[in-house]
Amino acid sequence: MLPIDPSLSIADFDYDLPEDLIAQTPPATRTDSRLLLMQHNGQLQDLNFSALPDLLQPNDLLIFNDTKVIKARLYGQKDSGGRVEALIERILEPTRALAHVRASKSPRPGTTLIFDEAVACTVVARHDDLFELQFDTDILPVLDKHGNLPLPPYIKHSADQQDETRYQTVYARHPGGAAAPTAGLHFDAALLQRLQDKGINTAWVTLHVGAGTFQPVRVEKISEHIMHAEWYTVPENTVAAIAATRERGGRVIAVGTTSVRALESAAQQGGTLGELRCPVAHSADTQLFITPGYTFRVIDGLITNFHLPQSTLLMLVSALTGRERMREAYRHAIEARYRFFSYGDAMFIAPA
């Protein structure tokens, strides 16, 4: 656990957001989003996301999170007849998972839950806010057939067919996320091709985003916050791509805060590359909590959406920009009527 400035409070990361700026639907096409460019000197510029290749240089490296959102929400009933809703947080084994469970009374170990009148599971144990569930069949096919896409709580409509396409990156390939890595939602195949044509390289990490990403910080002093755990992997070829980028004088730019958490978590395990620590290939749970004062070991820049007030994601961004520049950028975005959160616009925190 890295030390956190004990003077920091959630009030340091608060701001007022007009409700009508919370994006409820995606733009017509992925690259129609706006992009707020923050230069290394703090200067701000309003652009369209399609301008991104012009802001990058040959030999830069973009690192994406290739998790795939699963249809993690199930509706059903307890064997006693009471209604129940489960949100799969993590698949532990093909037939075993951790889940958030909502019911009039919390189910006890041994309780049978029946979803869609067809699929049964048994409550094995409770681990803090999560319930361990044992299914009688493989979970992923059950979710594909009976599950519902778990849209964030600030999106007010039920998931529809458009959401099943647009609340998923075009490069998603490893099922397991309970939420999307939303900075990646702005990329389509044509934009990825433009990046490749310009000589901008890409690499991949996987971090299965948990529903905990939407949980508010409930303590006044953020040093007392217990960060939720998420599973990640940084593969060997991504470590090699970072090393090659450094050797060529390129810059490492994370697409999304989840990519940052994976890379910086792996760097905690790693050695050095010049004066920078380099991540090692690694798979594990991470509870890395990045707040102002953190020294970034891997990334030089970040592409990210606009985040909830008082959220751990906003704290991560503030660690990279500085709190005052973060506040200025968010004030500008609100005044310029950017769209916020998962289906909203993006920000590029450019490296020097």
Tell me the two tokens of residue 206.
């996987």
d(CA 259, CA 50): 21
Entry pTM: 0.94
Specify the pLDDT at position 9.
96
Q: What is the pLDDT of residues 222-269, one digit of tens each?
A: 999 999 899 999 999 999 999 999 999 999 999 999 999 999 998 887
Residue 272 in this model has a pLDDT that exceeds 60? no
Q: What is the pLDDT of residues 14-45, one digit of tens each?
A: 999 999 999 999 999 999 999 999 999 999 99
Q: What is the pLDDT of residues 180-204, one digit of tens each?
A: 999 999 999 999 999 999 999 999 9
Specify the pLDDT at position 271.
59
Specify the pLDDT at position 211.
83
Residue 273 in this model has a pLDDT that exceeds 80? no
Specify the pLDDT at position 275.
46
Specify the pLDDT at position 93.
94
d(CA 239, CA 245): 10
Share of the chain above pLDDT 90, in %: 87
Enumerate the β-bridge partners of residue 282: 234
Specify the pLDDT at position 213.
80
Residue 134 in this model has a pLDDT that exceeds 70? yes
Residue 47 in this model has a pLDDT that exceeds 70? yes
| Residue 106: C-alpha distances to residues 73, 126, 129, 173 (Å) | 17, 10, 10, 34
Confidence of residue 274 (pLDDT cuts 50, 70, 90): very low
- Cα-only R_g, the chain: 20
Q: What is the pLDDT of residues 286-319, one digit of tens each?
A: 999 999 999 999 999 999 999 999 999 999 999 9
Residue 6 in this model has a pLDDT that exceeds 70? yes
Confidence of residue 325 (pLDDT cuts 50, 70, 90): very high
| Residue 209: C-alpha distances to residues 22, 126, 213, 266, 288 (Å) | 20, 21, 7, 16, 13
Confidence of residue 51 (pLDDT cuts 50, 70, 90): very high
Cβ atoms of 134 and 96 within 8 Å: the answer is: yes
Cβ atoms of 131 and 98 within 8 Å: the answer is: yes
Among 139, 34, 25, smallest CA distance to 86 is for 139
CA 214 to chain centroid: 10
d(CA 334, CA 15): 10
Q: What is the pLDDT of residues 145-163, one digit of tens each?
A: 999 999 999 999 999 999 9
Specify the pLDDT at position 216.
77
Amino acid residing at 266? A
Confidence of residue 215 (pLDDT cuts 50, 70, 90): confident
Residue 11 in this model has a pLDDT that exceeds 90? yes
